[in-house]
Structure 1
């Protein structure tokens, strides 16, 4: 594992390491002798911060243990001048192995664990991770990235009055696989403090948002507290306020619900409780999984070059191709074709072996050269080049990723869609046009921000389950054609909400203008957080 993607080595900026270290040492100052462990020392940012902290004189002794499997990195860290008050032990080994032979308990478990997806781990590390999670009775589902094993290990390494301080990906707050981790943390810590940041702390990590988690095994002021840091200046100067949302903390809700105040959360929930959810109105299924869109979804030139006309079906590959409308028609599809965009799915399912022409054989050979037959999904097929589960054409599709707002599109062009979207079929008794109209209101879109998760660049993503639980104030649209035109001509989604919020939210719920404006302000606040405005 010789690159950052495989090693997960995104080193902590010096200023952030200094601030986190000082924050912790101040809160440990009541103890005469402390012990600290950093499980992934990397380039030694936290080691340096501890050694240089102005708070070290508060302790009689500081025992510091550092672990790092990369020999070059730990040797670099060991060159850092140490305060004489520190007794250092260093271990050049894999922390997941170190976990099982270290029986010590520490005052502080501190650091920035590596970020490596499960798919990039070898079997040995997967098994070690499983064993660590199993110690706390967690399932394999909670292992999707190596950083979770460091969190679980840290919980077991703390003394009865110990602290944990870890810089973690935003995934901790917002994804399903970390739900067990969140429940473990709530059970193990009397108090937790969660810091989110407006500023990116790791510029080289493809826009990965991070959080600072502080956990206290014992604390006189118990609970889960959340705060957002506009800049590191605010953290340094104490210019922030903790919010405590008991309704979220005591439930299985995502911790991203802490992005709004307890009063705002209770306000939204009181309205949501009066509404049916997306799942009440429709069924959604994943789009087509090709396993290699660049090969199986082609443009007009490729169709012509390899004479593929008998084996193509129109398809929308991604939300970027549908622009800003709420419908996708024949003209829209033809514009993709004329623009030489990939708009045709290669459906070789009807093709018999004796129908493979020389041109098609040449094209398939290019796929073999790309090693597609050995890909996981292609290997599951009877013939690697026959995309399976090309189902019926959906009435509409919802794209799971969005930037300004989620895209729900009526399929007037009768095209297929890839797994970048969910296929939509209405349940009897509900009309598609009414649902699309009703979906675009500030309340539903605010919950899309709360229930979804966001990634680098401010991209919002909703899983099928997250989409299904959005509240929708279902309202009849008396003139959908007019609405469709206005939507297509908007400058931003704000124009649509300004025009229709009252009709939808007052008409279905009787909300006042003041209440509707409050919902919209919360929505804007959430979007600003996601997009770092």
Structure 2
């Protein structure tokens, strides 16, 4: 996690402005309903306002805009130069909570809401965000991002049949903190279409963005047609008719979109096969096969996880223990003593420093000297360190037979911890409940489990897949018996494989084949996973990344 002092002013403000062609495309779609009143909740320098002016019908009477930055608000007003535009200088959520209820409903809402992490928001704005959720009885989490309450509030201000068109992060499909928004959209809207660009259109954000087009229900009792996704390759498609795209979209609804919206990316055949295998008694939820716990939380990894050089410099051998927690530490399916020795020779931070003494006076001078270096860095003031006594005594220290890295580039994998090493909070500690550790590790790499990882997990900038324990527990896992010798052979194959795809295809034949999944079905699962992985990495499905997981 980055600390606030290391972030750019642009990122803290969430001001990633929209290109004119994107604004024009979304404006054309809203203009179809010939709006009289339009809302722009975060107008920035006025690109959407200008697009509205260019598309203005004789019916357009009022454009209400909000912008928290006075300088940008001034630019927006100057850019339009018309009495039809009301630019309110201030926070949109404050305006919504204290003035929105007195306003006549809007026919359309346009914009690019700010992308700001909750912890980067000033306290006042944090409270405003929470109040928006409470107003609609929606579950709130302090992991939410500023764009989520913006969309909720803007949608609430629309009349029945009104249209919302916004640029939002692609995490709308999968991030847990957007679940309340997904539910609100599904309840409030008759149709939701999301244009999903293959490219990164906002390079400054280092994450994918999508174009959200939602039509509010005319009647709350109306059954929603659901969600449709339209893949977009290149900006040329923005020259097309947005209304034709909206009307021609294929929608998915019902239980498929009750949670995360990732299943929308699957075909009917793919969804049916996953459902069939979910009901197969040879396929279990991961939670039925193993327990998952977070790794050791040190509060200051660079201080507690060190290379041999630091251990030798301060004479910390007695307090140094083997550890792994990064992909560079664990290159295969097994983390062995040989791997640990190689990491030490390579100068990697392969040692976990565990100081168990309660009193610093009980430690020798060389250790106190090292701890003093931590005090000089003010590590004792960091939250995880200051809430424990003494600050240098890391809690919940134990090893597990299996580890799993929190993040993966291509495919997630389990790692047999034959070295008995500790793992930090960049990895998980896993204990088998049924099968052997070897069988669990071996069976985990298959297209069904990898596909459900894409459906259940989340991803951020750089296209890296991240799974938290609750998501891991929901993965589908077929377990086949595997001996230590067989896992050792698989480990060698994995390390020597040209890429992860080659190894995965071989695993499908072994793992899925053993439980009766036919070759054609294996192909369906593999291609579905490959397509979702390609989307996550923003590459074409057939294009192999050179990066390792």
Counterpart Cα distance in 2 of 1:451 and 1:40: 31
Q: 1:22 aligns with which of 18, 28, 33?
A: 28
Given that 2:413 and 2:444 are in contact with CA atoms closer than 8 Å, whether structure 1 keeps it comes out as no
3-state SS of 2:141 partner: helix
**1:399 — aligned with what?**
405
Structure 2 unaligned segments of length 5 or more: list them: 540-549
**1:97 — aligned with what?**
94
**1:385 — aligned with what?**
392
Counterpart Cα distance in 2 of 1:450 and 1:139: 22
**1:230 — aligned with what?**
233
**1:208 — aligned with what?**
207
Which digits, 9 at most, give the CA deviation of each residue in 1:378-432, with x for residues without a partner? 11101111111112x11010112000111211011110001111111111x4111
Q: 2:437 aligns with which of 432, 436, 444?
A: 432
Structure-to-structure mapping, 1:239-318, within 5 angstroms: 242-249=249-256, 251-274=257-280, 275-318=283-326
TM-score (normalizing by structure 2): 0.90
- Cα drift, residue 18 of structure 1: 1.6
Counterpart Cα distance in 1 of 2:342 and 2:492: 18
Given that 1:288 and 1:390 are in contact with CA atoms closer than 8 Å, whether structure 2 keeps it comes out as yes
- Cα drift, residue 284 of structure 1: 1.1
**1:525 — aligned with what?**
531
- Cα drift, residue 234 of structure 1: 2.2
**1:138 — aligned with what?**
138
3-state SS of 1:140 partner: coil
Counterpart Cα distance in 1 of 2:18 and 2:366: 53
Change (3 A) 1:484 1:69: closer
TM-score (normalizing by structure 1): 0.92
Counterpart Cα distance in 2 of 1:480 and 1:362: 44
- Cα drift, residue 222 of structure 1: 3.5
- Bigger drift between 175-184 and 358-367 goes to 358-367
Counterpart Cα distance in 1 of 2:161 and 2:503: 53
- Cα drift, residue 248 of structure 1: 4.5
Structure-to-structure mapping, 1:72-221, within 5 angstroms: 72-82=71-81, 87-99=84-96, 100-102=98-100, 103-104=102-103, 105-141=105-141, 144-205=144-205, 207-218=206-217
**2:542 — aligned with what?**
none
- Cα drift, residue 273 of structure 1: 2.3
3-state SS of 2:200 partner: coil
Which digits, 9 at most, give the CA deviation of each residue in 1:466-490, with x for residues without a partner? 1111111111236333223222211
**1:505 — aligned with what?**
512
- Cα drift, residue 500 of structure 1: 2.9
What CA RMSD, in Å, does the superposition of the two structures yield over aligned residues?
2.1
Task: Indicate yes or no: 2:413 matched with 1:412.
Answer: no
3-state SS of 1:11 partner: coil
Structure-to-structure mapping, 1:340-379, within 5 angstroms: 340-350=347-357, 352-379=359-386
Which digits, 9 at most, give the CA deviation of each residue in 1:220-252, with x for residues without a partner? 983322222122222432596633223455x52
Given that 1:192 and 1:213 are in contact with CA atoms closer than 8 Å, whether structure 2 keeps it comes out as yes
Given that 2:335 and 2:416 are in contact with CA atoms closer than 8 Å, whether structure 1 keeps it comes out as yes
Which digits, 9 at most, give the CA deviation of each residue in 1:73-124, with x for residues without a partner? 1111222145x6x711111112121112132211111111111111122221
Structure 1 unaligned segments of length 5 or more: list them: none
- Cα drift, residue 520 of structure 1: 1.1
Name the count of aligned residue pairs.
518
**1:51 — aligned with what?**
53
Counterpart Cα distance in 1 of 2:163 and 2:183: 17
- Cα drift, residue 350 of structure 1: 2.9
Given that 1:306 and 1:363 are in contact with CA atoms closer than 8 Å, whether structure 2 keeps it comes out as yes
3-state SS of 2:84 partner: strand
3-state SS of 1:482 partner: helix
**1:60 — aligned with what?**
59
**2:476 — aligned with what?**
471
Which digits, 9 at most, give the CA deviation of each residue in 1:119-176, with x for residues without a partner? 1222211221121111101133276222221122112211122111121112221022
Given that 1:142 and 1:181 are in contact with CA atoms closer than 8 Å, whether structure 2 keeps it comes out as no
